[in-house]
Amino acid sequence: MKLVRLIESYFWVILMAGILLGLAWPVYTELLMSLLKPLLMVMLLLVFLKTDLILILRQISDYRLITLIAVTFMVVIPLILYAAVYPFSRELATGILLLTAMPAGVSTPSLTDIVKGNIALSSGVAIITSVLAPFTVPLLFRLVNHDTISIDSLEMFADLAVLVFVPLAVSQVLKSLFPAAIASVKGGFTAVNILLIFIMVYAAMGSQRTLITGDPLNILLQVCFLYLIYVLLHVAGYLTGYGLDRKSRIAVTIGAAYKNNGMAIVLAAIHFEPSILVLMVLSEFPWNTLLAPFRRVMRYL
């Protein structure tokens, strides 16, 4: 248990190590990148094993809150940021639109658990936004008249359905068959998920190491810009949760800020130029380093 507490307390050190090791010593990167989806499914399975399905359904049933969150996070905020950045750089604006149009990351329930937020609400937000993504992402790029992306919505929907609903179903079967065993070990699930995120970060950074280290000044500027975007996403999420209890506000904020950048990386690699892909990979920096400051800030709010 001491090891579990140590991992949970210093999760930010572990995630930073994933970034640095991925840049300095990438090993088996292609193999690890191919395992991103299975790793995400395992993470979500562990989260669902810790979460009461009834609570998730109860949170989703609050259709007004879920609609507000989905529309704000997946349509309004991406379009506002795109419009703000476009006058300065169309390429950068396209990357920001892609990144912010993504659903809440499937790991957001794990992150919410780390910050002691409402895991059920976080899981509901991740599920709903993931289901909506195949429809909203192509729509957004049509709205901005972007003609370089062609997404098979049915294929993406099927992929997301497997990613989200298979772990959900398996978790319910396991909890019905082995309730005592799961109860005895679930205290370590958060620590396991932190280690899984470490592997994913390491793989993503290592896959783009050459491009990232080839132009340090430009990369530094892009990273600084991404930090600004992520801070704005935190603020927007916190304001969207106005009127909710503290744990729910944490869940809403994390859903707004911690997008599924793994999905963004995959889409960028398939549909966009290398510069957009690099931007998606660089989003790992703020994604993996801002949770610790956010957790500290929330202690005073």
pLDDT digits (tens, 9 = 90+) for 62-71: 778 888 999 9
Quickly tell me which residue has 């499937």 as its tokens: 106
What pLDDT was estimated at residue 47? 78
Distance separating alpha carbons of residues 270 and 263, to the nearest angstrom: 11
What pLDDT was estimated at residue 149? 52
Q: What value, to the nearest 5°, has the Cα angle with vertex 71 and ends 60 and 135?
A: 90
pLDDT digits (tens, 9 = 90+) for 32-43: 888 888 888 898
Which residue, among 8, 20, 53, has the nearest Cα to 193 in the 3D structure? 8
CA contacts within 13 A on the Cβ side of 97 = 27
pTM: 0.80
Q: Which domains does the chain possess?
A: 28-298 (1.20.1530.20)
CA contacts within 13 A on the Cβ side of 161 = 7
Confidence of residue 253 (pLDDT cuts 50, 70, 90): very high
Backbone angles phi, psi at 78, to 5 degrees: -60, -40
Q: What value, to the nearest 5°, has the Cα angle with vertex 60 and ends 265 and 95?
A: 20
What pLDDT was estimated at residue 2? 80
User: Mean pLDDT lowest for which of 47-51, 84-88, 126-130, 289-293?
Assistant: 47-51
Q: How many helices (H) and strands (E) does the chain have?
A: 20, 0
**Phi-psi category of residue 218: left, alpha or beta, with phi > 0 → left and psi -120 to 50 → alpha:** alpha
What pLDDT was estimated at residue 131? 78
139 to 104, 109, 132, 144: CA distances (angstroms): 18, 27, 11, 9
Question: Which whole number is the average pLDDT over 183-212?
Answer: 85
Which residue, among 266, 47, 62, 277, has the nearest Cα to 164 in the 3D structure? 47
User: What is the full DSSP assignment across 103-127?
Assistant: PBPTTHHHHHHHTT--HHHHHHHHH
What pLDDT was estimated at residue 23? 87
